[in-house]
Amino acid sequence: MGHPQIGTTPNSRLISMPRLDYDYIIIGSGIAGLNTALLAREHGSTLIITKGRVDDCNTRYAQGGIAAAIGTGDTPTLHMQDTLSAGAGLCDRNAVEVLTSEGPQRIASLIQWGVPFDTMHGEISLGMEGAHSRPRILHAGGDATGQHIELALAARVAESDIKVLEFTLATRLVVEDGRAVAVETLNSETGETEAYSGRSIIIGAGGAGQLYKYTTNPEVATGDGVALGFRAGARVMDMEFYQFHPTALRLKGAPTFLLSEAMRGEGAVLRDRDGRAFMPDYHPLADLAPRDVVSRAIAREMEKAGEEAVYLDISHLPGSVVQSRFPTIYRFCKDHGLDITREPAPVAPAAHYMMGGIKIDTWGRTNVPGLYACGEAACSAVHGANRLASNSLLDTLVFARRLVSSSLGQAPEEEEPHDDSILIKRLPERAPVCATMPSPGLENLQDLTWRNAGINRNGSRLLLSARILNLWQRMMPAPDDRPSWELTNMVLLARLMVESALSRQESRGSHFREDFPEIRAEWEKHIVLTQEEVPA
C-alpha cells in the first residue's frame, strides 16, 4: 500500500482504547521537555513521552554553554543586539527581547535546581564565543554543560509525581473540532499502541541532525516533533535555516564529535594543512566570526585543497588549561589517538541546529488550539537566519515558562506580524522524477540532503531533491515501527526544508544559494509552510 500524501496521517485511525487523561502531555525529554514538565506539574497532572531513555536528547551533548547577560558590564540590551546581528534581519525583535531580558532569571532557577556552573574566585565564570560582544557564556563541567543541566532536571523529574513513558514514540496528534486533544503512541519495545488525552499538549522533541550525513546530533534526532505537529495542522516556519557547526571532529575511525565553539573563544585557531590561519581572510572577527561564515570558509578551504578537513589548533595553550577547560573533548580525542594539547584536530562542518520549526508566538502557542511547542522543535524567530552561539539552551528555559503561563490563560492575545513579514505557502506537489533515482532509505536520504540542501545550495539541485522526496513519500509503506516512523518523519522534514530553501531566492544567514549569492531586501520575511489552502 502506498504512503499517504502529505496532509494526511499514516495510521490515522484513532486507537480505540481507554483514554488516560492528563492536564499536560509533553513529547520529548531534553531540557525543553523536562523543564516544561517541572513547571507544568505545579498546575496539574503531567506525562512525558520519550522514544528512548529519558536522557537521550540533543541537550545532553550541548558543550558550548548557555548565554545570559549576568556579567559586569553586560546587559540584556547588549545581548539582544548581538542576537539580532547574528540573525541577519530575521529575528523577531519582541521574541529576542523576551529571551534576553528573562534570561538571567532562568539562570537563577537553574542554580536553585542544582546545576553546578563553573566558578572562579567564588563567581560564575563567563566565557567568550563567536559573535558575542561580551563574555556571557556559562559552563558546567567545562564542556559538559548540557549534560549537567539535563541530569539536574532529570533528577528532579525522577523525584516528582511526573509520569514518564520511555521507549514510547508519539505517532499522531488527535485533533477534534480544531483542537489538539490526545496523543497516539507506539511502544517500540512491545509494539503496543495507546492513546493519551491531555488538556495541553506540548511538543518538545526537537533536533533533526540525522537528516544529514554528518551531524553532531545523537541518533534520536530525527525531527519527530516537527513532523508530528505539521501533520496535525500546525504551521512550520524558517525550515530553510539549518545551522552547521564549523568544527566537528573528522578523524578516521572516530564518530562525528563536536569540538565546541568555546575552544575558539579560548584562543583555538583554524589552520589549513600548511599551518596557515585562514579565517582572517574571510571575516574581521577571524575565528570568532558567525557560524555560517566559518562553516562556508572551511568548506571553501577544503575544496581548494582537495582535503576532507582543516585543522583546529589549541596546542599553543598550556596543556593543563586545555584539559581542565575541555575535559570531555580532551578525553574523547585522546581515546581516539589524538592529543589536542600537542597537535591540531582535523575538523569539518556538520549539521548542528535546526532554527526553523513549528511556528509559535512568544507564549509557545501554535495555530492549533491546545497545541504548544518549545525548544528546537519550535520557531519563534528568536534565532532568525543564524542562531547566536549558546542561545539555544536559554531559549528552551525562557519560553517553556511562558508556555505554561499561557496554558493557564495568563497570556494576552498576541498580534500576528505584519503581512509583509510572512510568506505563507502550501507545500506543493511535485512532478515525478523520470530518471533513475535512489530508493527511499536512511543512507540515501542523508546523502541527498548533505549534497543538495547542505552548506551550499542551488535551485536546480533543490528542485530535483524536492521531486525525489515527493516521490519517496508516495512510494513508502505506512510506518509500523520506530525505524520506519523515523524515516517517514525525516522524509517529511527534508521536504519542508528543501521547499523552503527553494522558495528563498537569496543568501541569508545559514542559507546560502550559489545561484542567488547576495542578501536581498525583499526577502526579509519568513517562509511559512502549511497544509491549508492559501488564498491567492
Name residue, grid cell 585543522: 311
Q: How far is CA 33 from CA 165, 206, 231, 377, in A?
A: 13, 10, 20, 11
Output the DSSP codes for 249-264.
E--TTS--EE--THHH
List of E strands, 364-469: 371-373, 378-379, 422-426
DSSP state, residue 42: T
Is-contact 262 129, C-beta < 8 A? Answer: yes
Handedness of CA 457, 61, 237, 98 (dihedral sign): negative
Q: What's the Cα-to-Cα distance from 448 to each of 87, 463, 531, rounded to whole Å?
A: 27, 12, 24
Cα→Cα distances 291→1, 99, 295, Å: 44, 20, 6
- The one-letter code for the residue type at 457 is R
Element (H, E) at 473: helix 459-475
Phi, psi of 228, rounded to the nearest 5 degrees: -60, -45
Helix (H) or strand (E) holding 452: helix 442-452
Q: Quick count: other Cβ atoms within 10 Å of Cβ 176? A: 11
Query: What does the chain come to in residues?
Result: 536
Catalytic residue among 60, 172, 291, 401: 291
Contact between 345 and 311 (Cβ < 8 Å): yes
CB 49 within 8 A of CB 61: no
16: which DSSP letter? -
Amino acid at 95: A
Cell of 430: 511535485
Closest CA to 468 of 440, 489, 446: 440
Range list of H helices, 311-391:
319-325, 327-335
Backbone angles phi, psi at 106, to 5 degrees: -70, -30
Angle CA 404–407–411, to nearest 5: 90
| Residue 31 CB neighbour total at 10 angstroms | 32
Grid coordinates representing 237?
516556519
Annotation marks residue 291 as catalytic: yes
Please tell me the distance from the alpha carbon of residue 167 to that of residue 188, in angstroms, as a whole number.
6
Among the listed residues 34, 41, 384, the one whose alpha carbon sits nearest the alpha carbon of residue 204: 34
| Residues forming the active site | 291
